A and B are shown apart, each in its own frame.
Chain A
Amino acid sequence: MRTLRFLLQKEFRQIFRDRSILPMIFLMPTIQLLILPQAADFDVRSITLAVVDQDHSTYSRQLVSKVLATGYFHLTGMETSYQAALRYVEQDRADLILQIPAGFERKLVRENAQSLFVAIDAINGSKASIGGSYLTSIIGDFNNQIRFKWTGQMPSLLDIVYSHWYNPTKNYKNYMVPGILVLLLTLVGGFLSALNIVREKEIGTIEQINVTPIRKWEFILGKLIPFWVLGLVVFTLGLTIARFVYGIIPLGSIPLLYLFAGVYLIAILGFGLLISTYSQTQLQAMFVAFFFIMIFTLMSGLFTSTDSMPFWARVLSFLTPVTHFIEVVRMIVLKGSTFAEVRNQFGYLVLFAVFLNGWAILNYRKTS
């Protein structure tokens, strides 16, 4: 125990002496939490629109001003021909073209029917489909208005009333911030622990340690505990930023969150340790860790919902610890879930912790 205490003392001393690690540990969560949720926003705003109005009637002008009044669209061009409007799309100055054919008003009044043409730049698929559907619903609304004006009654429609639970304002940040918190723990736990142990190999100090009678578990615990503590510090910092910058106050129990963070950190530290046992240089460890953390992050449902992935991807996603922890953090923070509701995820995380650490310890040898 005395040896372990000295190992920890030495590790902390080295961490506090390092000019890059400590600032990074505090700057990384702050900057990431301040920047990422602002940028990674899936709400589509300011769609650029080019209008081809070949009718120039009251109705056509009403339609255009109604579209622009929503605030989602930004008019970049008014043209008289479709070809001219298409130039805007080619130059990336317009995402959508709304074409109003000649005789729009006349036909609408006389024949009670008219067609409109919408062309969409579909390079950014989600922007195109969201922009298209906004436009469709505005046109549908416009349609109803005209009918109401003419017939004096609303068409009989199924009226749908939405109720947005857990995130009533549909604020995307509420969804992103807990996820980014998880990403931070993953970076601290996965990268720093792997690099730290490999550094001992690289500078040769592990040779000197290996000839001492120190036990394997003492050395490993001496490496893992400091990063476990740092991870929890980062987590606390992240929760504080979420509280004061984004006003996200966990609905569920804070101790439960920390319990999960603690177990998750053990799992991800085991992952870092595992990488370090296979790498000889920091460069190798860095690349391998980066490779896996990249996959973990993209497959974890941080940005995209795992439910819409193909089956094989869902299996892969299930097999990364990050997925489960993101799910849990979102459930506890936003839904206020209790342990009973997240006990499956708890089981998975414990399994990951045991598996990754077990493998790493088996693979860690003092003799080559």
Chain B
Amino acid sequence: MIRVEQLSKTYGDVRAVREVSFAVERGELFGLIGPDGAGKTSLIRILTTLLRADSGTATVGGYDVVTDYRAIRNTVGYMPGRFSLYQDLSIEENLHFFATLFGTTVRENYAVIRPIYEQIEPFKKRRAGQLSGGMKQKLALCCALVHQPTVLFLDEPTTGVDVVSRKEFWDMLGLLKSQGMTILVSTPYMDEASLCDRIALIQEGKILSVDTPAAIPGQYRGILLAVRADEIYALLKDLRALPWLKSCYAFGESIHCTVGQPADAARLREALTGHSNLEVKEIPASIEDCFIQLMNP
């Protein structure tokens, strides 16, 4: 459904997108995972025909993003990262307005937006500017869906939204996916990665890895150990002093270390005998661990 080949975009000295290639299949929920400034927004803007790439090609639904941009604008839905609906128009007015721009009506496509729209319908006379963050986001999603797009682009839809709304939002994406919609979503949150069918880890404009969320931890090189003790700071200092550790970083309440072979766990325990309540445990790598490893090869 989406095919990206060798796409590059440069702003002055900044190489926002560097020779990116990937493909998204029909009906897939595809996640672009990466920190702020990784090039996610630029990539999505190129695919939604808002930005022209310097080199490379991309097609969405079989249409080229440069030559068939008009066809793409008819068939894709786009929800920008920043809330960009009319704050001085009501929920209803915004929805009708965007339906009209796509040459359709809300009634015609009510089935598509119904599950989401029902949640905000009681407030339909309220101006968009007076809605809560979660409701704004639902409205934006409705507006992006009002013309029954075949591909939906969501740029960091859950940034700045509370945990409950985030969960609800991902439930809605799951629902849309079950209806056969192709969805490309970008997010800086690693925990959301597992909710996608496949993810691309992106950093400094480059794609580090593309795989299913389940397979990505399998790509982890070495053995991951979670180390805990009473004095975390002293522990981190001691760990950093060990030259044979491949990596070592604080991760939540414990410290994650990478070592080369299983025997190194015992060696580590020996080196840290001075710490009280020391705990060294081999754990499976999470997507975030993989990401950190890919970022610092």
Asked whether any CB of chain A lies closer than 8 Å to the CB of B163, the reply is no
Q: Is B89 an interface residue (CB 8 A)?
A: yes
With A10-B97, A212-B73, A213-B102 in contact, is A368–B51 under 8 Å at CB? yes
Q: A367-B51, A367-B52 are in contact. Are A207 and B80 (CB under 8 A)?
A: yes
- Which stretch from A11-19, A164-172, A183-191 is at the chain B interface? A11-19
> Does residue B220 face the partner (Cβ distance < 8 Å to A)?
no
Q: Which residues from chain B contact A206 at a C-beta distance below 8 Å?
A: 84
* A184, chain B: closest CB distance, angstroms: 25
User: CB of A146 within 8 A of chain B?
Assistant: no
Distance between B183 CB and nearest chain A CB, rounded to angstroms: 16
Question: A203 touching B87 by the CB < 8 A rule?
Answer: yes
CA distance A179 to B87 in the complex (A): 38
Structural contact, B84 and A3, CB atoms closer than 8 A? no
B62-91 near A? 1/0 per residue, CB < 8 Å: 000000011001101010101111111100
Please tell me if A6 contacts chain B, counting CB pairs below 8 Å: yes
In the complex, how many angstroms separate the beta carbon of B189 from the nearest chain A beta carbon? 22
Which residue of B48, B69, B101 contacts A209 across the interface (Cβ within 8 Å)? B101
- The answer to whether B80 and A6 touch across the interface, beta carbons within 8 angstroms, is no
Chain A residues 259 to 286 lying within 8 A of chain B, measured CB to CB, are none
A149 on the B face (CB < 8 A): no
Provide the main secondary structure of the chain A interface: helix
Q: Verify B80–A17 contact, CB threshold 8 A.
A: no
Query: What does DSSP make chain B's interface, helix, strand, loop or mixed?
Result: loop
Size category of the B interface is 20 to 34
* Residue contact B102 to A204, C-beta cutoff 8 Å: no
Residue total for A at the interface (Cβ-Cβ under 8 A): 23
- Asked whether A208 lies within 8 Å of B84 as measured between CB atoms, the reply is yes
B103 pairs with A3, CB closer than 8 A: yes
Contacts of A2 in B (CB 8 A): 100, 103
Docked-complex contact A210 and B101, CB < 8 angstroms: no
**Candidates B76, B84, B96; contact of A207 at CB < 8 Å:** B84
Q: Report if A367-B69 is in contact (Cβ < 8 Å); known contacts: A2-B100, A10-B89, A211-B48.
A: yes
Among A13, A14, A211, point to the contact of B73 (Cβ < 8 A).
A211
A344 to chain B, nearest CB (A): 42
Chain B contacts of A58 at CB under 8 A?
none
Given A13-B93, A208-B78, A367-B51, are A213 and B85 neighbors across the interface (CB < 8 Å)? no
7 closest A-B pairs by beta carbon, nearest first, are: A204-B84, A212-B101, A6-B100, A211-B78, A213-B73, A208-B84, A204-B82
For the complex with contacts A205-B85, A211-B49, 16 further pairs of A-B residues with Cβ separation under 8 Å are A2-B103, A203-B87, A204-B83, A206-B84, A207-B78, A207-B80, A207-B84, A208-B143, A211-B76, A212-B101, A213-B70, A214-B101, A366-B50, A367-B69, A368-B50, A368-B52
- The interface of chain B, by Cβ under 8 A from chain A, is 48-52, 69-70, 73-74, 76, 78, 80, 82-89, 93, 96-98, 100-103, 143
A interface residue numbers (CB < 8 A to B): 2-3, 6, 10, 13-14, 17-18, 203-214, 366-368
